[in-house]
Every structure is written in C-alpha cells, then in structure tokens.
Structure 1
Amino acid sequence: MAPPKLYVGRKVRALREANNVTQAAFAERLGISTSYLNQIENNQRPVSAAVLLGLAEKFQIDIAAISQGEGDRVLSALSEVLTDPLFETSSPTMQELKLVTQNAPAFARALISCHQAYRRSSEQLASLDDTLGRGASSAEPTPYEEVRDFFYFVDNYLHELDSAAERLAGDLGLPEREAGTALAEHLERRHNVRVLRAGPAEDVLRRYDPATRALFLNPYSPPATRTFQTAFQIAALEMEPVMSDIVHKAEFRSVEAAEVCKIGLKNYFAGALMLPYRVFMTAAKDLRHDLELLAARFGASIEQVAHRLSTLQRPGQKGVPVFFATLDRAGNITKRHSAAKLQFARFGAACPLWNAHQAFQAPGQVVRQLAETPDGVRYLSIALEITKSGGGYRTLRRSYVLALGCEISYSKHFVYAQGLDTDNRAAFDPIGISCRICDRPNCHQRAVPPLKGVLRIQQNCRGTLPYSLA
C-alpha cells in the first residue's frame, strides 16, 4: 500500500511566517521553486520527503510533529460527526474532509461544536426533558466535556507546565530520592506548609487549610496517591500564573469549565513532577514500558505511569505514541487520549470486542490483545483491572479498567508483546471504535446498526443479526 500523501500547507506557511521570510527566500533555502512552495502552502500539492528533510535540516523542526498531531484528532472527530444521518444527502469524501481540517481547522472545530449542541438539543427533545425551551445554554457542552476536548486538542501535552515540573524534579533530586518525602520537605521549606494526616472521619483525599498552612492527606490512601496529592498542592502554590494564562487563552464558555480545567492542569503538573519527562521516557524505553517496573522505580501507581506515557508528546523528544483510556463496568470511557491513529468514540460505548471489557473477569492480570480496526491498522492492546479502596472492611471499592496500547509497528518496545505472533494477521481480533460508526458487516457483537449503513431485512431468513448491511 502506498504511503498517504501529506498535505501540511498551513503548518509550512506558519513556519515560514514565524521565521519572517518571503516565499522566495524560504523556497531558496529549501532548494525548491517559489511556485512549488506556493502550491504546498495552498495544499494544491503534497509535501515530498525531500522537502520534509529540508525543513528538518534548515529550520530544526520535528518531522513527526509537522506530519501528525492535531489534524488527525480533528479529522477523526469531524468524520464521526458526519456519520450523522443529518448529513446523509451531503456527505463529503475523506479527501474533502482532509482539505477542510488542513486548511480551515477552526471551521472544522466550529462544525464539531455545532453538532455537539445539536445532539444535546435532540436528546432533550426526544426524552421530553423538562429543560426544553430554557434557552441556548441547554445545548452547550458540560464543563467536563469542554475541558476534555481542550486536553484532546492540545495533544495532552502542555510544555510550560511539563518543563517547569521537570526543572523542579531535578532541583529536588527526583526520582533518586523518595518522592513523598522530598515533596513534603519542599512544601514546608519553601511555603511553610506542613503535611499532616486527615482525621479518621474525614472523607477526603486532600484538604488544604490556607489559614494554618496545613495539607491534610487521607492516611488510608496508597503512598503514590498521597505523593500525587502533595505534588498537586505544589502546583496550586507555585504554578497559578502559568495555569491562569492557559485557561485565559482557552476561552472557556463558563466559569465552571475554567475551574475544572485548573484542576486538570494541577493534575498534569503533579504527574509531570512525579515522573519527570526525559528521565521517565528513558526509563520507559529501558524497561520496555513494563508498567509495574516503572511504577516501582518512580514510586507511582500503574495508572499514573500509564497516563504519563500518553503525555510524552514534547516536540523533538516524543515517546512511543500510545493510546490510553479508563473504562467503568458500564463501558463508559471515563478518561481517554490517543497519540496513535486509534481515536476513541466521542459518543456511545466502546467496542465490546475490545479486551478492555474482558479485564473485569481477570482481576490482577494483564489481558493482552492483538487487534485490527476497520481501516486496517493493527494494534497491541493491554488492559488491567484497577480496584481502589478508601480503607476499612465496609468501605466501597471502586473498580475500573485501565487500557493502554500502541500500533503494532511499535510493539517491539513493549514487554507485553513477548510471545505474541505479531506477524500473523490471522492472530488479530477485528475491533471497531463504536457500533454507530463501525461498518463491519458481520459482527456478532453489534449493538446497533451503523448510522450510515443501508439495512437489508429478510423476513424469511435470520442470521446472528436480524438484518444485514447492503
């Protein structure tokens, strides 16, 4: 199969303008004609391998950064939007969608936002929701949805926070020192904040009292959780100006979304402080992404390690591109991010053929799967059930599944690929993204027909499904 043509005119134009040079001067440095550069910038011609190498050599850009990234996520979201029957009579081709996301990404995002509002209004109307007619606000995204999309479109990487956390980790001698002790000492030395045990009746992970300069942590929480909450408090005390600037530039629709985002930014800093970028990325490669060994080396939880692997997106220093998600028992994806081609569905449940669902039946075990999506891309996927308790026999335990994976071409970097027949296509399970946008015709686990599928109903014949797809 021939490699896909690469249209990155908008990024090339932005690079040229950032260097404040004319098309003629820019083209001369790349060794191409001005007319060819003009065609590239207007996405009339794809960029060649020679031009990509010239951009890397002459302008020190990361080829992976210019060829992938936000465009893939916008294209995935826009493609899912256009499966809605609303667009049945005017469905653009994939090439047209690529041109829109490459040339007018702001327009693509606007269409995605409009469709989100349309879906919410339609769902309210269908259920005779009593909020019908209260105004446009009922169709706006919830604060959590808005913040989720913010992190999704920044590729789950925030350079200012990440680099600041890495500098502080270096100053504190992490990860060579025990992180919980080092962070608590830093809080007391720099901010005069003491780390204390929360009372036995307090149902909190963390409580900060600014009047007494005391940080109370739940004594029943695992050490990695207490360390994370300590790092969270450091973010709150030291990174407020940076976080406020990020939130301001994001232009959230509501105060609630801005506040939710600040929580997310503090969580991001805490994870980056416990698992500093370059040291952690090097360890991940050395240990072949063994989650348990990485957690032990850095004094972190397996979930913290897996989530951090999904944020290794620093330009010029990217880690292995992985997808990461958490699922509850109902199949809801509660966290999601993908630096791989696999993009999770924004609506509906996850594919029932995905091994993430099987992990609930195998507590404490890493469940492995070789999987192939309808576009022919193959993946290594691992899943592990996580159970959390606040302490005590009568305490309710929260159970969910953590899923992590990569495209099969990167599987050699993962210890979990050992013993799997990654060269045998027959060893790969066919999975989808979600039933509503999956066009596999004979899936025995299909819950609903695909939105754009044409159904054939045979009254005198019944297979696994009561219909077939034309």
Structure 2
Amino acid sequence: MSARKLYIGRKIREIRDSHKATQSAFAERIGISTSYLNQIENNQRPVSASVLLALAENFQIDIGAMALGDDDRLLSAIAEALADPLFDGYKPSLQELKLVTQNAPSLAHALIACHQAYRRNSEQLASFDDALGRSSTLTEPSSYEEVRDFFHFVDNYIHELDLAAEKLAGKLGISERDTSAILPAYIEQAHKVRIVRAQPGEDIIRHFDPAARVLYFSPYSPPSTRNFQIAFQIAELEMEEEVSAIARRARFRSAEALEICKIGLRNYFAGALTLPYQAFLAAAKELRHDLELLAARFDASIEQVAHRLSTLQRPGLKGVPIFFARIDRAGNITKRHSAAKLQFARFGAACPLWNVHQAFEQPGRIIRQLAETPDGARYLCVATELTKGGGGFNAPQRRYAIALGCEVAYAGDFVYADKLDHGNRAAFDPIGISCRICERASCPQRAVPPLNRKLVVDHNRRGAVPYEIA
C-alpha cells in the first residue's frame, strides 16, 4: 500500500449513500467511530489502510481504484486553467486544488469551461476583433471539443459497452479465430446484412444502405479497417439503446455534439469487440505491449492497438496506465487520452522536444525516448509515423504520428524499454506539456513565453529567444 495520504471523503460518502446507510451504521460496519467517519467524509483526516481493507471486505470495493485518490485529469486541467495570467496573484496550493476536485468536481468542471470560453474568446479576438461582439458562439466549445472532453473525463472507458462487446466477442470466438471471416458471417446471419465492395471511384470507407441491407466498403481498405467498420455497424444495429442512453446522460449543449458522441461510442464498442478486454489484456502482458505483435495476433492496425491499450481501465482488472495521442505534421494533437499522470495541453501544439515529432523524419520506425516533465515525473515514450492511403499512386495520403507510453516505473512491462538506461536520470530528455504552461526557462525550442511568468528584455544581450524568463 502506498504511503501517500488519501483524502477521498467524497468517494466514501458516495459509497455510504449508495447503501442508504447512516453515518453511525456505516461506521460500525467498518469498525470505526462515527466522529472519525465524519472527519474522513469532510477530508479532515486521510483514509487508513485498515479502513480501505474494511471497505473492500464489507462493500466489495476495489482498493486499487480507491487508492488512486485524486482525479489527475481533472486536477491537471484545473491547474492549467489557474496558471493563466487571468488569475495573477492567486496561486492555490496542491491541497486546495485536491479539495476542490475531490469534493466539488462539478465546480471544477464549471471553472474549466469558463476558462475555455475565455481562451477561445482571446484567441478569436486576435483575428476577428470586430466580429467577436456579434457572435456568442465564439466563446462556446465546439461540439467536437465537448465530446473529446466527455471521453477524457470518463477515463476513456465505457463499462456497459466494454462488457457487452466482450460478451459478444466470446460468443463469436474472436481472438481465437480469423476475425475477417467471423464478423462478415455474423452480421449477415444475425442481421441479414450483405458485405459488398463499393465502386472504385467512390470516396468512402463505409456506407450502409438500411433499406437494401447492404454494407459497402472501399475495395482498397485493409482487413483491419473492414473488421473495425463491420464491428461499428454491429454496434449501430444492436447497441443503439445503450449508446443513446449514455450519450443523453452526458447532457451535451447541442444535438450535434450528441450525434458525434454516438459515433464515438459506436467506435468504442467496435474497438472493444475486435480487441476484447481480457484476451487483449492478457496478450499485452504476454507480448510486453509489442504493438506489431498485438496487431498481428488480433488482425488489427497499430493505431487500433495503441488506442485500445489506453482504455484498459476496468475496475479491478486494470492494465498499465498508458497515455496515447495522435499528432499531425503541424504538431496539433487530434486524438488524446492519458490514464497515466502525463496530461496533454488543451491549447497549443505538443512540445517540440517530444519524440513524436521525430517519427515523421523516420517513417516506418518505432522511436523510443526516455523523457522527464518539469514536475520531475519520468516516462518511457514510444512513437511511430503512420500513413493512410489506399487509393493508388496518385491518391492523397494522410500522414500522422501516434505516441504512447507510461511512467518509468512500468517500463519493464514494455519491450521498448529493453537496453534503455531508464535507471539513469541523465538519460531522460527534458520535455514539457506545451510552451504555454512549461516552466523550463532555458529551453532552446521555446515558441511562446509561459503564461504565468514575467519576461525580462535586455537590449544588450540575446539568447535562443529574445527575452529571459524571470
């Protein structure tokens, strides 16, 4: 058990409320006094190991999940928001931030939403000064951003869909037989849907004709794409009630966001069906997270495997906490999730010192890096460039890079850590989250000054950047 003090009063109170127990009855059941329980629930005292064990024994609580304590994603997001010069003069302590995220998460989300609106407002003002006052939509998050944040804050794990997909995968024998043969046969038998190749000139990946019960695919799509898209169609045919209920519970601002979320939830089911949880988790451990071997074993793509690894967050059966991101050539993060401590910036591009940028210079290779962030946390980072084409020599190709990794404490579980000197701190490259919030004063790749630091300009002295950070 970690020696870190756990202040998880809100979680304890939620457990008690779910069992409709009074404080005195709940305290008696776990063997503590009512006054001690009251102090725990109000985060005046930490939870001891004996209390955690009593909770596990009496209420079937996952100690590992409880011991995670802080919601690092929410904590990181609110800390970044409060680092803005808008809050100059107010520097909350880590304990203050923890108390807010643990006891008033809705307030924390509201503050982050306000800050997002402010940032969008400021950035639009630079380009659309006279138009800003005429359009309130500029200060609202886009539908895509809303949905991205929804998945981010549920830890990119949807329990109902994951279990349903795993149950169907077991019934069909996925992970034991050829997925490319199983899924077309199942959708035809169960739903009377025929798989047909689209005409070569049609610019589609998937097209479903519900009236004719025909599912069209590009004739140039690889098997991994076809498998995933058939699984997506199965989700639409079998899981629509569950998908709609989950999306409605998110209370999105617009119907557009609701529909985008449904797409994301069907994609989640498709990934969970083609890469069923327990079989995939066991294979990841056996193969030490070797992306190429996992892709070959499950008839999947490298990106599908990397993304699935970041979703292995089932309570009581978690995988290694992994971060995952997809980055375009301009450095924009187009897909992101982190079950690890590392969190990605919500504004601006990725740190230029991160190895994911090197992947574009060495196509087809897996690039490894040992990296350290300004908070002293150290990571194993893996990146590779991917190209999606399929339309022949003259067709445009999409190029992007994916990155994944873990805290160095888990590096031994990855084949990519072999022969790296991860016990030597000097072997770690200093990286940041983004220039806007990075505190490193001497970085030669800095693009913009940090938001919460003052600048010193010396007209007689010039370094890598034309200012010094006070």
TM-score by length of 1: 0.97
Question: What is the DSSP-based 3-state SS (H/G/I as helix, E as strand, rest coil) of the residue aligned with 2:356?
Answer: coil
Moved over 4 A (4+): none
Gapped regions of structure 2 (runs ≥ 5): none
Q: Which moved more, 1:9-18 or 1:83-92?
A: 83-92
Give the aligned partner of residue 260 of structure 1. 260
What is the distance in 1 between the residues matched to 2:60 and 2:421? Answer: 38
Contact kept in structure 2, 1:336 and 1:344, CA below 8 Å: yes
Give the aligned partner of residue 341 of structure 2. 341
- TM-superposed deviation, 1:326: 0.5
Contact kept in structure 2, 1:69 and 1:155, CA below 8 Å: no
Contact kept in structure 1, 2:370 and 2:381, CA below 8 Å: yes
Give the aligned partner of residue 324 of structure 2. 324
2:378 aligned with 1:378, yes or no? yes
Contact kept in structure 2, 1:70 and 1:154, CA below 8 Å: no
- TM-superposed deviation, 1:44: 1.2
- TM-superposed deviation, 1:465: 2.6
- TM-superposed deviation, 1:458: 2.4
- TM-superposed deviation, 1:60: 1.8
Give the aligned partner of residue 413 of structure 2. 413
- TM-superposed deviation, 1:90: 2.7
What is the distance in 2 between the residues matched to 1:236 and 1:405? Answer: 32
- TM-superposed deviation, 1:219: 1.1
2:454 aligned with 1:463, yes or no? no
What is the distance in 2 between the residues matched to 1:249 and 1:416? Answer: 40
What is the distance in 2 between the residues matched to 1:58 and 1:431? Answer: 44
* Aligned residue runs from structure 1 range 231-270, under 5 A: 231-270=231-270
- TM-superposed deviation, 1:150: 0.4
Question: What is the DSSP-based 3-state SS (H/G/I as helix, E as strand, rest coil) of the residue aligned with 1:185?
Answer: helix
What is the distance in 1 between the residues matched to 2:3 and 2:73? Answer: 19
Deviations 1:247-291 (A, max 9, x none): 111111011101111110111000000000001001100110001
Give the aligned partner of residue 187 of structure 2. 187
What is the distance in 1 between the residues matched to 2:130 and 2:269? Answer: 40
* Aligned residue runs from structure 1 range 419-438, under 5 A: 419-438=419-438
Give the aligned partner of residue 454 of structure 2. 454
Give the aligned partner of residue 229 of structure 1. 229
Q: Which moved more, 1:24-33 or 1:396-405?
A: 24-33
What is the distance in 2 between the residues matched to 1:136 and 1:103? Answer: 32
- TM-superposed deviation, 1:125: 2.2
* Aligned residue runs from structure 1 range 10-409, under 5 A: 10-68=10-68, 71-128=71-128, 131-409=131-409
Q: Which moved more, 1:425-434 or 1:30-39?
A: 30-39
The 1:136–1:67 alpha-carbon spacing in structure 2 relative to 1, beyond 3 Å, is farther
Aligned-CA RMSD value: 1.4
Contact kept in structure 1, 2:324 and 2:403, CA below 8 Å: yes
- TM-superposed deviation, 1:114: 1.1
Contact kept in structure 2, 1:117 and 1:139, CA below 8 Å: yes
Letter of the structure 1 residue corresponding to residue 345 of structure 2: A
What is the distance in 2 between the residues matched to 1:370 and 1:121? Answer: 37
- TM-superposed deviation, 1:366: 0.6
Deviations 1:76-127 (A, max 9, x none): 1101111111110333222211111111000000111111112222222221
- TM-superposed deviation, 1:452: 0.7
Question: What is the DSSP-based 3-state SS (H/G/I as helix, E as strand, rest coil) of the residue aligned with 1:436?
Answer: coil
- TM-superposed deviation, 1:177: 1.5
Contact kept in structure 2, 1:221 and 1:391, CA below 8 Å: no
Contact kept in structure 2, 1:290 and 1:414, CA below 8 Å: yes
Question: What is the DSSP-based 3-state SS (H/G/I as helix, E as strand, rest coil) of the residue aligned with 2:133?
Answer: coil
Letter of the structure 1 residue corresponding to residue 427 of structure 2: A
What is the distance in 1 between the residues matched to 2:122 and 2:453? Answer: 21
Q: Which moved more, 1:401-410 or 1:82-91?
A: 82-91
What is the distance in 2 between the residues matched to 1:198 and 1:29? Answer: 63
What is the distance in 1 between the residues matched to 2:266 and 2:420? Answer: 39
- TM-superposed deviation, 1:464: 2.4
What is the distance in 1 between the residues matched to 2:166 and 2:70? Answer: 24
What is the distance in 2 between the residues matched to 1:456 and 1:126? Answer: 24
The 1:417–1:258 alpha-carbon spacing in structure 2 relative to 1, beyond 3 Å, is same
- TM-superposed deviation, 1:240: 0.3
- TM-superposed deviation, 1:213: 0.3
What is the distance in 1 between the residues matched to 2:134 and 2:240? Answer: 36
Deviations 1:307-336 (A, max 9, x none): 000111111111111000010000000100
Q: Which moved more, 1:406-415 or 1:176-185?
A: 176-185
Question: What is the DSSP-based 3-state SS (H/G/I as helix, E as strand, rest coil) of the residue aligned with 2:132?
Answer: coil
Letter of the structure 2 residue corresponding to residue 196 of structure 1: V
What is the distance in 2 between the residues matched to 1:246 and 1:69? Answer: 25
Aligned residue pairs total 469
Question: What is the DSSP-based 3-state SS (H/G/I as helix, E as strand, rest coil) of the residue aligned with 2:89?
Answer: helix
Contact kept in structure 2, 1:360 and 1:385, CA below 8 Å: yes
Deviations 1:139-190 (A, max 9, x none): 1111100000000011000011111000100111111111122111111111
Letter of the structure 1 residue corresponding to residue 416 of structure 2: Y
Letter of the structure 1 residue corresponding to residue 227 of structure 2: T
The 1:195–1:129 alpha-carbon spacing in structure 2 relative to 1, beyond 3 Å, is farther
Gapped regions of structure 1 (runs ≥ 5): none
Contact kept in structure 1, 2:368 and 2:380, CA below 8 Å: yes
Deviations 1:207-251 (A, max 9, x none): 000111000011101110011111111011100000110111111
What is the distance in 1 between the residues matched to 2:129 and 2:395? Answer: 35
Contact kept in structure 1, 2:70 and 2:101, CA below 8 Å: no
What is the distance in 2 between the residues matched to 1:134 and 1:253? Answer: 20
Question: What is the DSSP-based 3-state SS (H/G/I as helix, E as strand, rest coil) of the residue aligned with 2:335?
Answer: strand
- TM-superposed deviation, 1:69: 7.3
Contact kept in structure 1, 2:70 and 2:102, CA below 8 Å: no
What is the distance in 1 between the residues matched to 2:69 and 2:403? Answer: 21
What is the distance in 1 between the residues matched to 2:324 and 2:7? Answer: 27
TM-score by length of 2: 0.97
Letter of the structure 2 residue corresponding to residue 322 of structure 1: I
